[in-house]
Amino acid sequence: MSGVYDCLVIGAGPGGLAAAATAAEAGLQVGLEDDNPAAGGQIWRRGNAAVSVSHSAEQWMERIRSAKVDVLCGWRATDAGTDALGTPFIRVEGLGGFRDLRYRKLILATGARELFLPFPGWTLPGIYGAGGLQAFAKSGFDVRGMRVVLAGTGPLLMAVTAHLHEAGAKIVAVVEQAPLSRLMSLGMHLAPSAPGKLMEGLRYRLRTMGTKYYFGHWVSEARGDGKLERLTITNGSESFAVEADLLGVGYHLVPNTELAQLLGCGLENGFVRVEETQETSCTSIYCIGEATGIGGVDKAQVEGRIAGFSAAGRIEKARSLFAARDKQLRFVERLAAAFALREELRGLAQENTLVCRCEDVPHGALRECHSWREAKLHTRCGMGPCQGRICGPATQFLYGWHAPAPRPPVFPASVGTIAAVDEAGVHHE
């Protein structure tokens, strides 16, 4: 390695793996880094040895190895700058300190996280994000015999239900806020345009036959003495209670755009704006996968291949994939429409329901504020360890606020890493 990667990829999920392999096979010297202990991202997360990883994941890993991609796992990108020679770099922090990864082309494949909406009792032990609960189970958390409710919205609920069912959990109910009519309409669109995705959904449903699904319903309250014991489920006019040990709840996904914003990339409707080649508004910086639009694993991979070819200057190769990518983009729009959040969810939080759980700020203290900035100054909302990653999207939904562009470091970093920024003379655009 000359000390400067031809192409640096941040995020080793399906999108990042595809991008790194494609760019390296096209002749570039590629670095791929991720904050998880192993590559795979959200869907191909490796945990205990019993978790099998998909065939596609194994194929990308094999190509990454053959093409000699330099893989760094367990390092989180926290900052960006340029060195004294004007070469851009991403600063990553891991257990061993920090490193500056220099690059000529950058591909951002930072994925998405779950959207959490506050409701009374949502901070009780036993309540997780739906995808978070699945990740926890994949890492060895034993769910056998536990009574589990999955709630919120989006296709992730089906995948998590199937996984936890097969891991031995007793799925009490799946509570989807979208009405059945909208999901039927999504199914009818998918049948001719994306039959594979429809079949995938049906396969998940078949694997959990007998599980009770409630469409057009949501969890309005959680109760328990020190831990989750009981949930109230409602459709707005009728409510009923169920007993549960665990709740996995998530209201679809929000893109991880902080690093892109720090680098100055433009956004559109909350996602990173990209050209056909996946290049952002910043020259030589590309973005792919969930960060450009929530569309799942197939979209992430095709966008990754386009970005890999584009970064390598193989534009004709990239162009040959545009039609496949555009098909995935139509799926993004359909997903967003099918799982759009209902108005009633804005009214769940009570005066004393925590919205910012890092700094213990309740809804009652926030609803008088007029902006994210005012809330931050008056209540410390968003100033805890999550730095607004959880409460920011919730306040956007509840109060219509927009968080300002992130400032470095984009993730909490050690004082040593931050101090070294100054010594190195890091320059922010």
Ligand X SMILES: Cc1cc2nc3c(=O)[nH]c(=O)nc-3n(C[C@H](O)[C@H](O)[C@H](O)COP(=O)(O)OP(=O)(O)OC[C@H]3O[C@@H](n4cnc5c(N)ncnc54)[C@H](O)[C@@H]3O)c2cc1C
The residue among 155 and 382 lying less far from ligand X, judged by its C-beta, is 155
- Residue 85 or 95: the one with the smaller Cβ distance to ligand X is 95
Stretch that binds ligand X, among 58-66, 111-119, 322-330, 371-379 (CB under 6 A): 111-119
Q: How far is the CB of 406 from ligand X (least distance, A)?
A: 11
Q: Is 34 in the site for ligand X (CB under 6 A)?
A: yes
The residue from 5, 7, 107, 110 that contacts ligand X (CB under 6 A) is: 110
Q: Please identify which residue in 7, 11, 165, 231 interacts with ligand X, judged by CB under 6 A.
A: 11
Interaction of residue 249 with ligand X, rule CB under 6 A: no
Q: If binding is defined by CB under 6 A, does position 159 make contact with ligand X?
A: yes
- Classified as helix, coil or strand, 109 is coil
Residue from 35, 100, 176, 279 binding ligand X (CB under 6 A)? 35
For 26, the token pair is 């096209």
Is 362 near ligand X (CB under 6 A)?
A: no
Among 102, 113, 197, 376, binds ligand X (CB under 6 A): 113
| Complex with ligand X: residue 177 or 379, whichever CB lies closer | 177
Q: 195-207 and 156-166 are packed helices; what angle lies between their axes, rounded to 10 degrees?
A: 40
Nearer to ligand X by Cβ, of 297 and 398: the residue is 297
Among 94, 126, 132, 412, binds ligand X (CB under 6 A): 132
Please pick, from the candidates 9, 13, 127, 413, the single residue that binds ligand X as defined by CB under 6 A.
13
Does the protein bind ligand X through residue 300 (CB under 6 A)? yes
141 Cβ neighbours under 8 A, 6+ residues apart = none
Q: Which residue, 148, 182, 180, 181, is CA-closest to 167?
A: 148
Applying CB under 6 A, among 131, 248, 308, 406 the residue interacting with ligand X is 131
Of the pair 14, 362, the CB lying nearest ligand X is at 14
Segment near ligand X (CB under 6 A), from 220-228, 296-304, 352-360, 383-391?
Answer: 296-304
Q: Does 156 bind ligand X (CB under 6 A)?
A: yes
The answer to whether 88 contacts ligand X (rule: CB under 6 A) is no
Do the beta carbons of residue 282 and residue 264 sit within 8 Å? yes
Identity of the residue, 277 or 350, whose beta carbon is nearer to ligand X in the bound complex: 277
388 near ligand X, judged by CB under 6 A = no
* SS3 readout for the chain: CCCEEEEEEECCCHHHHHHHHHHHHCCCCEEEEECCCCCCCCCCCCCCCCCCCCHHHHHHHHHHHHCCCEEEECCEEEEEEECCCCCEEEEEEECCEEEEEEEEEEEECCCEEECCCCCCCCCCCCEECHHHHHHHHHCCCCCCCCEEEEEEECCHHHHHHHHHHHCCCEEEEEEECCCHHHHHHHHHHHHHHCHHHHHHHHHHHHHCCCCCEEECCEEEEEECCCCCCEEEEECCCCEEEEECCEEEEEECEEECCHHHHHCCCCEECCEECCCCCCECCCCCEEECHHHHCCCCHHHHHHHHHHHHHHHCCCHHHHHCCHHHHHHHHHHHHHHHHHCCCCHHHHHCCCCCCEEECCCCEEHHHHCCCCCHHHHHHHHCCCCCCCCCCCHHHHHHHHHCCCCCCCCCCCCCCCHHHHHHHHHCCCCCC
| 248 near ligand X, rule: CB under 6 A | no
Write the binding mask 48 to 77 for ligand X: x where contact by CB under 6 A, - elsewhere. ----------------------------xx
CA distance from start to end of the chain:
26
Both tokens of residue 169?
Answer: 């959990």
Please pick, from the candidates 57, 109, 171, 403, the single residue that binds ligand X as defined by CB under 6 A: 109
Binding of ligand X by 112 (CB under 6 A) = yes
Q: How far is the CB of 91 from ligand X (least distance, A)?
A: 10
Question: C-beta of 411: minimal distance to ligand X in Å?
Answer: 6
Select from 153, 161, 177, 256 the one that contacts ligand X (CB under 6 A).
256
**What is the smallest separation between the CB atom of 294 and ligand X, expressed in angstroms?**
8
Task: Tell me: does residue 101 bind ligand X (CB under 6 A).
Answer: no
User: For ligand X, which is the closer residue by CB, 127 or 361?
Assistant: 127
**At a CB cut-off of 8 Å and minimum separation 6, what does 270 contact?**
254, 255, 257
Query: What residues line the site for ligand X (CB under 6 A)?
Result: 10-16, 34-36, 41-43, 76-77, 109-114, 131-132, 134-135, 156, 159, 253, 256, 259, 289-290, 296-297, 300
